[in-house]
Amino acid sequence: MSALAPGATIGILGGGQLARMLALAGAGLGLRSHIFSPYADDPAFEVCAQKTLAEFTDEEALARFASHVDVITYEFENVPAATAAFLDARKPVRPNSKALALTQDRFVEKRFLQELEIETAEFADVADAGALARAIAKIGRPSILKTRRFGYDGKGQLLIRDGADLATSFRSLGGAPCILECVVPFNKEVSVVAARGLDGAFRAYDICENFHEHHILSRTTAPADIRPETASHAIALARRIAEAADYVGVIAVEMFVVESNASERLLVNEIAPRVHNSGHWTLDGAVTSQFEQHMRAVAGWPLGSPRSHGRVTMDNIIGEEVYNWSRILSEDGASLHLYGKREVRPGRKMGHVTRVEPRTPR
Amino acid sequence: MSALAPGATIGILGGGQLARMLALAGAGLGLRSHIFSPYADDPAFEVCAQKTLAEFTDEEALARFASHVDVITYEFENVPAATAAFLDARKPVRPNSKALALTQDRFVEKRFLQELEIETAEFADVADAGALARAIAKIGRPSILKTRRFGYDGKGQLLIRDGADLATSFRSLGGAPCILECVVPFNKEVSVVAARGLDGAFRAYDICENFHEHHILSRTTAPADIRPETASHAIALARRIAEAADYVGVIAVEMFVVESNASERLLVNEIAPRVHNSGHWTLDGAVTSQFEQHMRAVAGWPLGSPRSHGRVTMDNIIGEEVYNWSRILSEDGASLHLYGKREVRPGRKMGHVTRVEPRTPR
C-alpha cells in the first residue's frame, strides 16, 4: 500500500494523552483522526470529530471503526492480540503485530534482543514459584521480579532482596507469569526516540536522558550527557531493533548506560512501540515532533527532520503538580502542555513543561 | 473577570483555518474549544468535540453557545456588530467590540489611526460617485478605491487610473460606501504580529516582511530586512494601537515601509484583530505560536515568549499548489501545514510551509 493522501483518516486505538497529541499533530498535516477507546472521559475524544466509544473486544465496533479509517495505529502496547489481528485483516496496522507481540511480553522482548545480539540485563523466565528459586540461584539478589505482561510505571514489579520469601513474592504479583532480571548498576538511563518510515528510512532524535521518581518518568534532558560514540551506538541499536521488526512508526528504546573503565556499555531495558514520554520535548524542541513523525510514518509519508532547537529539559507534571500551571505559564520560555484530564489523581500524568536553551542565546 | 482555569472552554466564531489552528493550540494548553460557524464543511469542526452549526444571526443558537463557553473570540473581523453585542452581554468577547468596530470599516480604522497620530496613506471617504470625484481631486491618480467593509485578499478594491470613468468605477464595487486611498510608493510591506494580555502586557514577534501575489499573501520572512530602529518603531506603533483599543489577544498591524533619504518611514495600512497569516511562521519558528499566544491572552493568562528559533520563511500554499504536498514533505527541514479543506479552489489558502534557518547551523 502506498502513501495516504491528505484528508485520509488515521484510526488510533486508545484515547489518552499520547493519542491526543497524535491527533493534534495529524490535524496539522491535514490528516483526520478517529479515536477508539472504551473510556468516555478520555482526553483524545476532545480533539477529534470522529470517535468510537467501545470495548477492544467489541468486534462489531472494531469492524465499523476499520471501515471508517485508512490505517490504524495505537498509543499503547497492550492492544489485545486478537484485536490487532481482527483489525489487521481489514486495514493496515502500524506498527505491525510483530512489534506488538514483542513488546507486550518482557520475556519475548528480551529473547528477541538476545537473538539480535543486543545486551540486556541478565534475565530468566519465571513461570511459577519453583522457577523463581532456580532463577534466583542463577541471577542472585537483589534482583527484580516483573510480570511478563501489562507492567508500566513500576507497576507489576518487585525487588527481591536477601531473605525475601520467594513464594510470597511470586504470589504478590498475582501469580502471573514473570521474568526475573538482575539489578543493573547503571550510571544513566537514556532512551532513543526514533522513527522508521514505510520506505525503511530511519531518523533518530537527540538521545534522551531520563530521570525517574517513584518509577515514573520525572525529567528528560536532551541531548543526553554521554559520549558521542555511545550516542551513535545507541541509535544503531534502535535501528537494528526497528529493522528486525520491520517496524513503521516512532519507536522508543530505553537503555541503561554502565560506565566501565574508559567506555560506556549500553544495555537495552525496554522497547515501546509508540511515541514515548521521553520524546515529549520534541513538541517544542525539534523541527518535527515525535507525534508528527509517527503520523508521517504510519501515513506512509517521508519522515521529517528530527533536528533539535537546542538543549532541552522536559519535566512531567504529575498529579497535584498540575495546580502549578499558572506559575509555569508565567515563566518566560517555558512551554506548558496540559492533557485536558478532568480528574487529578496521585501519580497521574497531567501534562508536561519543556524548556529549550537555544544554541545561540539572544 | 480573572483568568480561566485549565479545562475552560473558549468559544470561537468562525470555523476556517485560523479557528482550527487556535483550537489545536488551545488543546495543547488543556483548553477546550467550541466552534460556531454556519458552514458544515469548515475545517475547524474536525478538531473539536463541541460545535454549533448555525447562522451568526440565530439568537437561540448564539445564546446556547454563550452558555456553553467561558470566553468568546473570533477568527475574522466581520463578525456582525449585533452578534458581538448579543454575545458580549452574556460572556466576555475578546478582542472587544471596539476592536471589531474599528477594523470592520476602513474609514473608521483610518480615522482612529489619525487620532493616534499614526501615519497612513492619504485617504478620503467616498459615499457616492460625486464624493469620488471630489476625493480624486484631492488625492490624485492613480489611487485605490476600496469598499469600507468586507474587503480581503484584494477583493472589494479597484485601482483608479488616469481616464477611468468614476461613475462606472464606483458602481463596479456595488455602490457600497468606499474609501479612496492614494497609492503609496512603498519599498517593503511588513506586519507586526503582537499580543496584549488582559493584564496589559505586550509582546511582539520578530517583524514580518510580506510578499503578495495577486493581492494574496504569498510569502512572509522574519525578521524583516529593515533597520533596528524601524523595527522598534513598528512595534511601538502596534502597541499604541492595542493600548488605545484596550485590546486583548493577538493583533496584526500591516505597514508600508517607505525609504526616504537615510531613514525608513512607516505608514499603517490595516489592522487585523486576530491571528494573522503573516504570523503562521510562529508555529514552527517561535517558542510560543501566535495561536497559543492568542488563547493565552483571551483566557486571561500570561503571554508566552515570542522568541524566534532563527530566520524564517513561510510560504502559503494556494489552490492547486496543495498537490505539491508530497514534495514538501520530502524536503528536509520544511514544516508542512495543511488545513484539512476538502475542496481545492483557485486562490484558496490550503496550507503553508515554514522553513527555519537555525542561528547556529549544525
Asked whether the domain spanning B188-358 has the same topology as the one spanning B9-93, the reply is no
HEC string for chain B: CCCCCCCCEEEEECCCHHHHHHHHHHHHECCEEEEEECCCCCHHHHHCCEEEECCCCCHHHHHHHHHHCCEEEECCCCCCHHHHHHHHCCCCECCCHHHHHHHHCHHHHHHHHHHCCCCCCCEEEECCHHHHHHHHHHHCCCEEEEECCCCCCCCCEEEECCCCCHHHHHHHCCCCCEEEEECCCCCEEEEEEEEECCCCCEEECCCEEEEEECCEEEEEEECCCCCHHHHHHHHHHHHHHHHHCCCCEEEEEEEEEEEECCEEEEEEEEEECCCCHHHCCHHHHECCCHHHHHHHHHCCCCCCCCCECEEEEEEEEEHHHHHHHHHHHHCCCEEEEECCCCCCCCCCEEEEEEEEEECCCC
pLDDT at A362: 43
Q: How is domain B9-93 classified at the architecture level of CATH?
A: 3-Layer(aba) Sandwich (3.40)
The predicted-structure confidence for A154-200, as pLDDT tens digits, reads as follows: 788 999 999 889 989 999 998 899 999 999 999 999 999 999 999 99
The predicted-structure confidence for A116-141, as pLDDT tens digits, reads as follows: 999 999 999 999 989 999 999 999 99
The predicted-structure confidence for A200-256, as pLDDT tens digits, reads as follows: 999 999 999 999 999 899 999 999 999 999 999 999 999 999 999 999 999 999 999
> Which residues in chain A have their CB less than 8 angstroms from residue B29's CB?
336-338
Q: Is there a contact between A297 and A303 (Cβ–Cβ < 8 Å)? A: yes
Percentage of chain A surpassing pLDDT 90? 91
The predicted-structure confidence for A252-296, as pLDDT tens digits, reads as follows: 999 999 998 889 999 999 999 999 999 999 999 999 999 999 999
Size of interface A-B (CB pairs under 8 A): 119
Residues with Cβ within 8 Å of B309's Cβ and at least 6 positions away in sequence, in order, are A309, A358, B284, B285, B286, B287, B356, B358, B359
Task: Read off φ and ψ for residue B57, nearest 5 degrees.
Answer: -100, 0
Q: Nearest CA to A219 among A193, A192, A189, A194?
A: A189
pLDDT at A218: 97
CATH, domain A122-182, list 3.20.20.70, 1.10.3130.10, 3.30.1490.20, 3.30.428.10? 3.30.1490.20
Q: Nearest CA to B252 among B282, B274, B231, B221?
A: B274
Interface test with A, best of B2, B308, B329, B348 (most A CBs within 10 A): B329
Task: Read off φ and ψ for residue A110, nearest 5 degrees.
Answer: -65, -40
Of B46, B351, B356, the CB nearest to A49: B46
May I ask the CATH class of domain B188-358? alpha beta
Residue of A nearest to B8 (CA): A340
Q: What distance in Å separates residue B45's CA from the closest CA in chain A?
A: 7
Q: Is the pLDDT of residue A1 over 60?
A: no
Residues with Cβ within 8 Å of B241's Cβ and at least 6 positions away in sequence, in order, are B113, B116, B118, B247, B251, B253, B268, B271
Domain edges within chain B: 9-93, 122-182, 188-358
pLDDT at A150: 83
Cell of B152: 480581503
pLDDT at B151: 73
Cell of B148: 469600507
Positions in chain B short of pLDDT 70: 1, 360-362
3-state helix, strand, coil in chain A (%, to 5): 30, 30, 35
> Which residues in chain B have their CB less than 8 angstroms from residue A18's CB?
none
**Contact between B32 and A46 using a beta-carbon 8 Å cutoff:** yes
**Contact between B360 and A362 using a beta-carbon 8 Å cutoff:** no
d(CA B310, CA B357): 5
ipTM for the whole complex: 0.94
User: How many alpha carbons fall within 13 Å on the CB side of residue A7?
Assistant: 13
d(CA B6, CA A165): 47
d(CA A137, CA A99): 32
pLDDT at B1: 53
pLDDT at A317: 98
**Contact between A332 and B305 using a beta-carbon 8 Å cutoff:** yes
Mean pLDDT score of chain A: 95
Element (H, E) at A325: helix A325-330
